[in-house]
Amino acid sequence: DNVEWSEEQEASARSKVQENSSQLLPQDKQEEYEVNAKRYWDDFYKIHENGFFKDRHWLFTEFPELTPNRNPSQNGDSVHEFSNKEESTNGGLGSCENGHCSLETRAENELNLIKSTPKICTEELATQKYSEPNQSDGDYPGSSASYRILEVGCGAGNTVFPILQTNNDPGLFVYCCDFSTTAVDLVQNNVEYDSSRCFAFVHDLCNNQSPFPMPDESLDIVILIFVLSAILPEKMQCIVNRLSRLLKPGGMILLRDYGRYDLAQLRFKKGQCLSDNFYVRGDGTRVYFFTQDELDDLFTTAGLEKIQNLVDRRLQVNRGKQMTMYRVWIQCKYRKP
């Protein structure tokens, strides 16, 4: 845990990134990935369904704000052992499938993106099926709750269901959304889905006209786990601004995402880079690798104050395959004044 990198190791990582980003994809190809983003994520969940991830019970060590006693971490020092508790069921430590490396805390696979796509007939049907309720007269899902959590990019529910299982606060209500209708189907069809405590809905964060089912300043917590990195970098600030408006004063955004020079970034080949530190995988999904300063700028520009912003560097060893892997993640907590 918290492995220190030597200057040589950092220089080597920087060199690999320079090499794999020296050849950018043509602009028309980049636009194609943006336009078809939803289809790529729907395809991903159709292939893997909910068997690809294990529930992330490390959540409550790193983010005590999600537990019933809700003791917020004020010192920003907590990063405990969580990574080895979430292995892909498709191969374990060190396995990579279609550019998705397992064991990355929502592993590289469940970034559950939120991207803009053209309005086509199937999308209109999906919108009707997962309509977002009217907030008039304060009548919306969870309106009577005393503590409200939203997870953006919920995937198959690997964060939502541990929260519902662990947090027995009768005043709790959990919202979860995803860009992929296939992912939301998986959540709603789970035997543990309880509509009296949870509301899952399809939502395109990049569409400013797409309403949320809850009003501004109604949420205590917004969770972003390996989600922001899957969004077109120039759209990130607008999205963080929108999410910050949903928070009550004192409410927090909790983030866990990819750090610069993570193993997943170094493994990309030439021709997969879209722009600086932003790549496309073999299955069409995309990923960005952050620095602490970039995330701090996004959140503070949105009017939030820093509680925690740290880099977690880990050495993972697969003794069976004689592999060592250096992972780099960033964990943040930002609060609305």
Q: Which secondary structure element, helix H or strand E, spans residue 279, and what is its range? A: strand 278-280
**pTM of the complete model:** 0.82
Q: What pLDDT digit, counting tens, does each position of 61-106 carry?
A: 999 999 887 765 545 555 554 443 333 323 333 334 333 444 343 3
Burial class (CB in 10 A: 0-12, 13-18, 19+), 12: middle
Helix (H) or strand (E) holding 28: helix 27-35
Q: Which of 29, 46, 313, 63 is nearest to 163 (CA)?
A: 63
Domains delineated in the chain:
22-66+140-336 (3.40.50.150)
3-state secondary structure of 16: helix
Res 54: pLDDT:
62
Would the CA dihedral through 211, 214, 218, 219 be positive or negative?
negative
Strands 147-152 and 172-178, bridge-based pairing: parallel
Quick one: what percent of the chain has pLDDT higher than 90?
54
Q: What is the pLDDT of residue 267?
A: 93
Q: Report the distance separating Cα 292 and Cα 328, nearest Å.
A: 11
| Termini Cα distance of the chain | 32
Q: Tell me the per-residue pLDDT of 184-229, one tens digit each, with 9 for 90 and over.
A: 999 999 999 999 999 999 999 988 888 999 999 999 999 999 999 9
Looking at per-residue confidence, does 123 or 231 come out higher? 231
Mean pLDDT of the chain: 81
The per-residue pLDDT for 273 is: 95
Whether residue 16 is predicted with pLDDT greater than 60 in this model: the reply is: yes
Decide if pLDDT at 296 tops 90: yes
The SS3 call for residue 324 is strand
